[in-house]
């Protein structure tokens, strides 16, 4: 079991390397922070294929295979969209796992049913797809950092066999 004082991104890397699995990321609200943290670890090219920052709807459709119908029906900040993002980036980059994040970082852009700080994290692997919603109450930078941390923790939980839906 990895030590608790070991950074999450290092724990993730050790587990991916041990399984010889690869990872790709599709990020929206985090703007590449997940990929940045992963690539802070020396040797991360052993398991991290790459990441896509798909911020606009057009980028989500063109780069990570989110359907226009999904975006129109559910919006970018939804379970359906992050699952399609995770599946799409996994397929496009040929990874074993796809990890995605989409949310409303703020300070504007919130809606009654999707307030500022609402974030979905998605994960796609060979044996299934999962997503989880989070709600942050920080400023824009804090919300982005919290979302990146949550995405890495979600991945760590999956790799450690602690995944809940």
pLDDT at 110: 86
pLDDT at 2: 46
SS3 110: coil
pLDDT at 1: 46
pTM of the model: 0.95
pLDDT at 65: 97
Alpha carbons 25 and 33: distance in angstroms, whole number: 10
Could you give the domains of the chain? 8-159 (3.90.950.20)
What averages of pLDDT result for each successive group of 10 residues across the chain (165 residues)? Answer: 78 97 98 98 98 97 98 97 98 98 93 92 97 97 98 97 67
Q: What distances in angstroms separate CA 49 from CA 21, 33, 79, 125, one per listed residue?
A: 10, 15, 24, 15
Alpha carbons 98 and 121: distance in angstroms, whole number: 11
Q: What's the N-to-C CA distance of the chain in angstroms?
A: 22
């Amino acid at each position: 079991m990895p030590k608790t004082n070991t950074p999450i991104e290092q724990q993730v890397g050790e587990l991916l390397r041990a399984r010889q699995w690869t990872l790709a990321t599709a990020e929206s609200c985090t703007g590449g922070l997940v990929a940045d943290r992963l690539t802070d670890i020396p040797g991360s090219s052993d398991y991290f294929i790459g990441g896509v920052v798909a911020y606009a709807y057009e980028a989500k459709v063109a780069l990570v295979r989110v359907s226009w119908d999904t975006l129109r029906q559910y919006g970018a900040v939804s379970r359906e969209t992050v699952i399609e993002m995770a599946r799409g980036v996994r397929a496009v980059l040929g990874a074993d796992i796809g990890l995605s994040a989409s949310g409303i970082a703020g300070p504007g852009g919130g809606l009654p049913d999707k307030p500022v700080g609402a974030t979905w994290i998605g994960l796609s692997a060979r044996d299934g797809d999962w997503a989880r919603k989070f709600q942050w109450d920080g400023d824009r930078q804090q919300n982005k950092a919290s979302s990146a941390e949550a995405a890495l923790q979600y991945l760590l939980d999956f790799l450690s066999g602690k995944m809940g839906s």
